[in-house]
Amino acid sequence: MNKATERIKKTEKKPSILDGISLALPALMRAEKLQKRTSHVGFDWPETKQVLDKINEESLEIVEAYESGEPQSRIHEEVGDLMFVVANLARKLGVDPEHALRDANQKFTDRFQYIEDNAPKPMQNMELSEMEALWIEAKTKT
């Protein structure tokens, strides 16, 4: 084999089961598709409990990075890892993570607007504890 052929062979990329998963997808949707695709070849935790354990592990890694003063890039990486595992949990539980997050955003919006509508004074003049009391009240109404 000549050197040109060797060079071409080295640059040829082996097909991947991840080929075709668009980089243009929203990140949460792409995470779900990556995990679903790899699960087809057995690269997946068999038990949901294992995913929950991984969520705890990733949460602790964020705490460690934050408390030890790690650079923002490290914290960024750890938060991304946690979000990726949460997307995996959603998949394992049969929950559409994009839809679940959209619903959580709406629930937050409804509850926060309840606080705004029922605040006895301008919110910037309220203590967090006062806002939290209204939040708890909102939870019973939304």
Judge contact between 16 and 38, C-beta under 8 A: no
Q: In the structure, what pLDDT confidence band is assigned to residue 7 with cuts at 50, 70 and 90?
A: low
Please tell me the distance from the alpha carbon of residue 81 to that of residue 60, in angstroms, as a whole number: 12
Q: What is the pLDDT of residues 23-47, one digit of tens each?
A: 999 999 999 999 999 999 999 999 9
Q: In the structure, what pLDDT confidence band is assigned to residue 13 with cuts at 50, 70 and 90?
A: confident
Task: For residue 138, give the 3-state DSSP assignment.
Answer: helix
Q: Is the pLDDT of residue 11 over 80?
A: no
20: left (phi > 0), else alpha (psi -120 to 50), else beta? Answer: left
Judge contact between 139 and 115, C-beta under 8 A: no
If you average pLDDT over every residue of the chain, what do you get?
93
CA distance readout (Å), 34 to 30, 50, 91: 6, 18, 11
Q: Over range 50-77, report the average pLDDT.
A: 98
Q: In the structure, what pLDDT confidence band is assigned to residue 141 with cuts at 50, 70 and 90?
A: confident
Judge contact between 138 and 114, C-beta under 8 A: yes
Residue-level pLDDT at 12: 75
